[in-house]
């Protein structure tokens, strides 16, 4: 409060009695931009929620917990939710350690040579590659070459193939966000640690990573949210685009991941949106709401967790 008053006094002293028109105008324009983007979001949300209301009223939880069915009155999205969650788990397990490790190497160990710079430039380019290209890669490498070719599976169009594809997709983004997080750690912290005789690894482990972890955490979850909503690469990497599929009853979860067909929530949204029956308009909206709610819960959880981490660091 005090500083704001001082600032105001200082500003007046410097500007004299001149009336500044530009500044309020810029502020107003920026505010309008903010409101416009918020309005788009609100309209979108309102539209989807309103359209999905009949489904929630008539079907209740069954639209979440039912399996897919060719009858719109009985269909549900549990197979898609299961697929999406498992895909995300695979992505976390694979790309998080790999991405963070690669970023630590690049930021803390690698010397600034031409090769390093080439590597970094390539990783940045990879992050800009359209996701459909990763889908093609997933189909030819994971589905065809590894699962069907080398491991001899009848069909390689399984969750693990989709998970590997999405991991490839987010790996480069994971590296970049972690790099940025590490870069934001003040050099003085490293110098102090080296100054008392710590090794590079001790420095990273006990000083750099703890400071960078909230940012790494946030970046990772935003990256995962992207993987969660991705549909194009999965369509190529074998997700089932269908109003009906079923695994044999009693299939253990490992087989569901490694050997069975799968679908994901964004795929279900896409498929429902192109169905001719009227009921699918509301069903599609309901699936979008489900996707948004899951993402919202995960993101909120992340923000809370990050804040807790930051508070601990300050102590």
Residues that bind another protein (CB under 8 A): 65-67, 69-71, 74, 78-79, 81-82, 85-86, 88-89, 92-93, 155, 205-206, 209-210, 213, 217, 240-251, 253, 256, 260-261, 274, 276, 278, 305, 309, 312-313
Query: How near is the Cβ of 301 to another protein at its closest, in Å?
Result: 8
Identity of the residue, 116 or 299, whose beta carbon is nearer to another protein in the bound complex = 299
265: closest CA among 68, 52, 42?
68
Identity of the residue, 209 or 222, whose beta carbon is nearer to another protein in the bound complex = 209
Tokens of 9: 């006094």
Identity of the residue, 23 or 251, whose beta carbon is nearer to another protein in the bound complex = 251
Query: How near is the Cβ of 309 to another protein at its closest, in Å?
Result: 7
Please name the residues in contact with 116: beta carbons below 8 A apart, sequence gap of 6 or more: 106, 110
Identity of the residue, 62 or 116, whose beta carbon is nearer to another protein in the bound complex = 62
Query: How near is the Cβ of 217 to another protein at its closest, in Å?
Result: 8
Identity of the residue, 133 or 209, whose beta carbon is nearer to another protein in the bound complex = 209
The neighbour count for residue 158, using CB atoms within 10 Å, is 24
Query: How near is the Cβ of 115 to another protein at its closest, in Å?
Result: 31
For helices 209-229 and 159-183, what crossing angle results, to 10°?
140
Tokens of 6: 């001082």
Query: How near is the Cβ of 153 to another protein at its closest, in Å?
Result: 12
Query: How near is the Cβ of 106 to another protein at its closest, in Å?
Result: 20
Identity of the residue, 205 or 226, whose beta carbon is nearer to another protein in the bound complex = 205
Query: How near is the Cβ of 112 to another protein at its closest, in Å?
Result: 27
H or E segment at 78? Answer: helix 78-104
Query: How near is the Cβ of 70 to another protein at its closest, in Å?
Result: 4
133: closest CA among 232, 60, 29?
232
> How far is CA 27 from each of CA 14, 41, 140, 249, rounded to the nearest angstrom?
20, 21, 52, 61
Please check whether residue 263 is in contact with residue 23, taking contact to mean a CB–CB distance below 8 angstroms: no
CA 207 – CA 189 distance, rounded (Å): 7
219: closest CA among 165, 164, 180?
180
CA 190 – CA 101 distance, rounded (Å): 18
How far, rounded to the nearest angstrom, does the alpha carbon of residue 150 sit from its chain's CA centroid? 31
Please name the residues in contact with 304: beta carbons below 8 A apart, sequence gap of 6 or more: none
Identity of the residue, 172 or 263, whose beta carbon is nearer to another protein in the bound complex = 263
152: closest CA among 160, 161, 143?
143
H or E segment at 111? Answer: none
Identity of the residue, 175 or 221, whose beta carbon is nearer to another protein in the bound complex = 221
């Amino acid at each position: 409060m005090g500083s704001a008053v001082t600032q105001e006094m200082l500003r007046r002293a410097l500007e004299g009695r001149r009336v500044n028109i530009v500044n309020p105008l810029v502020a107003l324009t920026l505010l309008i931009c903010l409101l416009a983007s918020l309005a788009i979001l609100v309209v979108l949300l309102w539209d989807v929620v309103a359209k999905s209301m009949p489904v929630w009223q008539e079907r209740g939880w069954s639209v979440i917990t039912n399996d897919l069915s060719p009858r719109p009155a009985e269909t549900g999205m549990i197979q898609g939710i299961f697929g999406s969650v498992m895909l995300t788990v695979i992505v976390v397990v694979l790309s998080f350690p790999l991405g963070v490790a690669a970023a630590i190497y690049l930021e803390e160990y690698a010397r600034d040579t031409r090769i390093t710079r080439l590597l970094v430039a390539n990783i940045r380019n990879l992050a800009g590659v359209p996701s459909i290209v990763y889908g093609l890669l997933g189909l030819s490498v994971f589905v065809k070459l590894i699962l069907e070719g080398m491991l001899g599976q009848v069909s390689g169009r399984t969750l693990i193939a989709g998970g590997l594809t999405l991991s490839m997709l987010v790996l480069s983004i994971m590296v970049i966000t972690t790099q940025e997080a590490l870069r934001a750690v003040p050099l003085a912290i490293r110098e102090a640690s080296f100054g008392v005789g710590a090794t590079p690894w001790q420095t990273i482990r006990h000083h750099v990573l703890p400071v960078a972890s909230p940012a790494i955490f946030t970046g990772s979850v935003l990256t995962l949210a992207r993987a969660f909503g991705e549909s194009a690469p999965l369509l190529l990497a074998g997700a089932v685009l269908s109003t009906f599929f079923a695994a044999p009853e009693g299939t253990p979860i490992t087989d569901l991941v490694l050997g069975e067909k799968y679908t994901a929530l964004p795929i279900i949204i896409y498929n429902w949106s192109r169905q001719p029956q009227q009921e699918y308009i509301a069903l599609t909206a309901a699936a979008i709401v489900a996707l948004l709610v899951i993402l919202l819960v995960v993101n909120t959880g992340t923000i809370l967790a990050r804040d807790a981490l930051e508070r601990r660091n300050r102590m």
